Amino acid sequence: MKAVLFDLDNTLIDFMRMKKISCEAAISAMIDAGLEMEKDEAYKKLFDLYGVHGIEHQQIFQKFLEEVTGEVDYKILSRGIAAYRKMQAGYLEPYPRVRSTLILLREKGLKLGIVSDAPKLKAWMRLAEMGLTDFFDFVVAFDDTGERKPSALPFKAALEHLGCNPSEILFVGDNPERDIAGAKEVGMKTCLAKYGQLFPDNGIKADYELKDIAGLAKIVSK
């Protein structure tokens, strides 16, 4: 094995925990600023819109206000965004034992990279905010190929960075259909991050499974 590639959200970062807490704070702030809506109803509507437009949509609060009020009130919008960002900064943390595991992988001489569906700057910013940038040789993001996993293009872009055979690479991700199926398609070994898994397997099996990221040490040693 010469390299380990990681998905970012829900693999290195407990992204959905951060997202939910930040969105709750944003909804509360918008209600305080004058949004006439029950908190539970507003929260559900916001996540319905994330389901339609994608969890990384850059103007989701604008779309939310347009949908529920027919217009964008910038006083309400600004309060929501400010509360979201403040809460996000406090809860954006790696899973336990991520840092010690990355140190171990580096000590073994392995190349490390990220393949994420997030925008490139956001991916690097998340790594920077967690103090993890120096562990990674590169990030392949949506901007690089215009395709999201399980498309082969992001995985092939990572292969170009690494310059080694797919069979010499282990891909670690939480989403069976996007991460595991996509990496398998190009010939990489795969590892399912069970600790962050939100979506069902649907019959897709990884070569390895992790209940804790620290288990990578044993897999790599094999």
* Residue ranges covered by each domain of the chain: 3-14+94-221, 16-91
Among 194, 16, 191, which Cα is nearest to 105's? 191
Report which of 118, 117, 189, 105 is spatially closest to residue 151, judged by C-alpha positions.
117
Token pair 């992790």 in the structure block, residue: 210
Over residues 88-101, the mean pLDDT reads 90
Closest CA to 189 of 210, 171, 212, 177: 171
Element (H, E) at 173: strand 169-173
pLDDT for 198: 86
What pLDDT is recorded for position 90? 80
Give tens-digit pLDDT for 22-75: 999 999 999 999 999 999 999 999 999 998 988 878 899 999 999 999 999 999
CA angle 110, 141, 187 (to 5 degrees): 55
- pLDDT score of 56: 79
Fold of 16-91: DNA polymerase; domain 1 (1.10.150)
Determine the distance from the C-alpha atom of residue 193 to the mean position of all C-alpha atoms in its chain, rounded to a whole number: 12
Decide if 140 contacts 115 (C-beta within 8 A): yes
Domain at 3-14+94-221, CATH from 3.40.50.1000, 3.40.1190.20, 3.50.50.60, 3.40.1440.10: 3.40.50.1000
5-26 confidence digits (pLDDT tens): 999 999 999 888 899 999 999 9
Percent of the chain with pLDDT over 70: 100
Distance (Å, rounded) from C-alpha 91 to C-alpha 69?
30
The reported pTM is: 0.84
Q: What integer pLDDT is reported at residue 91 of this predicted model? A: 83
Cross-strand bridge partners of residue 114: 6, 139
- Residue 123 — pLDDT band, cuts 50, 70, 90? very high
Tokens found for residue 103: 């140190």
The average confidence (pLDDT) of the chain is 95
pLDDT tens-place string over residues 134-170: 999 999 999 999 999 999 999 999 999 999 999 999 9
Dihedral sign, CA of 32, 37, 40, 41? negative
Helix H or strand E encompassing 191: strand 189-193
Q: In a 3-state reduction of DSSP, which class is residue 112?
A: strand
DSSP-derived 3-state class of residue 3: strand
DSSP 199: S
Cβ-count burial 60-81 (b if 16+ within 10 Å, e if not): bbebbbeebeeeeeeebbebbb
